Amino acid sequence: MIENNLVLIGQVVKAPKLSTSPAGIHHCQFSIEHRSIQNEAGLNRQAFVRMQVVATGEWSQHLTRDLTAGSNIKVSGFINRHESRNGNPLLVLHAQQIEMIN
């Protein structure tokens, strides 16, 4: 198996949207925003990313019910390409673990 793992700490910027697929699988979608200063080649660089997160399965309903816009979290999972409704490619973080940060 080839590794595909991303850990991102940030703030929830869109309230989670809960849904259930026709097959009965629970999904939770929200957006996270990360801002930091990273060192690259000895220089400080501002890093900013806003990314959609998808949590799937029974655990997602329990873990994400306390998430609100403004919550600080750490999300671990893998990234995958999705297509927006207008056909544009998007990178989406598929959460495998979500941790609240105070």
Q: Answer whether 81's CB lies under 8 Å from 91's CB.
A: yes
The model's pTM is: 0.86
- How deeply is 37 buried, as exposed, middle or buried, from its count of CB atoms within 10 A (0-12, 13-18, 19+)? exposed
Q: So what's the pLDDT on residue 12? A: 95
Task: Look at residue 42 in the predicted model and tell me its pLDDT.
Answer: 96
Q: Tell me if residue 6 falls in helix, strand or coil.
A: strand
Each residue's pLDDT, cut to its tens digit, for the chain (102 residues) gives 799 999 999 999 988 888 888 998 888 999 999 999 999 999 999 999 999 999 998 777 766 778 889 999 999 999 999 888 888 999 999 999 999 997
Residue 65 CB neighbour total at 10 angstroms:
11
Q: Where are the alpha helices (DSSP H) in the chain?
A: 58-64
Indicate the SS3 state at residue 34.
strand
